[in-house]
Homo-oligomer: A and B are copies of this chain.
Amino acid sequence: MNESQLRKGVLDLAVLSILARGESYGYELTQDLMAAGFDQLGDATIYGTLRRMEQAGWVTSRLVPSSDGPARKYHSLTRAGRASLSDGMERWTELVASLAALMEERR
């Protein structure tokens, strides 16, 4: 059970949560997530996640040129993305509760 397996699926929730605070771009998201405790997070993981989310209609993106570096691709939540976040948070909470119950009973 390596760390990466634990992260599976949870990462979507983390990204959606950050985007719910306002638009962001891949590089910044990676930094934010690592600062939030998601260690050893490769940037390719985030870019893949964002691409999937855009295909699913959860986020939209716009390319914004920058004068002091490469262009940034800003992503914002759509209505569907917000719905998915609510839904995911609910199931996440249930999962946490289920596991907490199991771990509590252990001796």
Contacts and interface: CB of A to CB of B under 8 A. Distances in A.
Interface of A: 1, 3-10, 12-14, 17-18, 20-21, 36-38, 84-85, 88-89, 91-92, 94-99, 101-103, 105-107
B91 A103 contact: no
Q: How many copies of the chain does the oligomer comprise?
A: 2
Nearest to A5: B9
Contact of A102 (B9, B14, B96): B14
Contact of A97 (B1, B20, B37): B37
A36 to B, nearest CB: 5
A6 B6 contact: no
Contacts of A95: 6-7, 10, 37
